[in-house]
Amino acid sequence: MTVAPLPVLDAHDPASLDRAAAILREGGLVAVPTETVYGLAADASNASAVAALYAAKGRPAFNPLIAHVDSLERALTLITLSDAALALTHAFWPGPLTLVGRRKENAAISDLAAAGLDTLAVRWPDAPAMTGLVARLDRPLVAPSANPSGTISPTTAAHVAEGLAGRIAMVLDGGPCTAGVESTIIADTPEGLVLLRPGALPREAIEAVTGAPLKGAGGKAAITAPGMLKSHYAPRARLRLNVTRPEADEIYLAFADHRGSGAKAVLHLSESGDLAEAAANLFSLMRKADQMGERIAVAPIPATGLGEAINDRLTRAAAPKDS
Ligand code: TXA
Ligand code: MG
Task: Give the position, in ligand 1's atom list, of the atom nearest the Cα of 68.
Answer: 7
Residues facing residue 68 across a β-bridge: 123, 141
Q: Whose CA is nearest to atom 13 of ligand 1?
A: 144
Task: Give the position, in ligand 1's atom list, of the atom nearest the Cα of 103.
Answer: 29
**Backbone phi, then psi, for 173, in 5-degree steps?**
-95, 115
Query: Quick one: which ligand is closest to 61's CA?
Result: 1
State yes or no: pLDDT of 35 exceeds 70: yes
| Mean pLDDT, rounded, for 46-62 | 88
**Residue 144 preceded by cis peptide, ω within 30:** no
- CB contact at 8 A, 177 and 37: yes
Q: Whose CA is nearest to atom 20 of ligand 1?
A: 227
Instruction: Give the per-residue pLDDT at 221.
Output: 41
Q: Whose CA is nearest to atom 31 of ligand 1?
A: 225
**Beta-strand runs (E) in the chain:** 8-10, 30-32, 39-43, 66-68, 79-80, 97-103, 119-123, 141-142, 170-173, 184-189, 192-197, 215-216, 238-240, 250-255, 265-270, 295-298
Instruction: Give the per-residue pLDDT at 319.
Output: 86
Task: Give the position, in ligand 1's atom list, of the atom nearest the Cα of 59.
Answer: 13
- pTM equals 0.92
Query: How many CA atoms within 13 Å lie on the side-chain side of 192?
Result: 10
Q: Ligand 1 within 6 A of 145 CB?
A: yes
| Mean pLDDT, rounded, for 284-294 | 95
Cβ < 5 A residues, ion ligand 2 = 145
- Grouping H, G, I as helix, E, B as strand and the rest as coil, residue 103 is strand
Confidence band, pLDDT 50/70/90 cuts, at residue 216: confident
- CB contact at 8 A, 264 and 251: yes
Mind spelling out the 3-state secondary structure of 125-182? CCCHHHHHHHHHHCCCEECCECCCCCCCCCCCHHHHHHHHCCCCCEEEECCCCCCCCC
Instruction: Give the per-residue pLDDT at 4.
Output: 76
Tell me: the pLDDT tens digits for 219-265? 444 445 544 555 567 888 999 999 999 999 999 999 999 999 999 99
State yes or no: pLDDT of 181 exceeds 90: yes
Burial of 158 (0-12, 13-18, 19+ CB in 10 A): middle
Tell me: the pLDDT tens digits for 133-175? 999 999 999 999 999 998 999 999 999 999 999 999 999 999 9
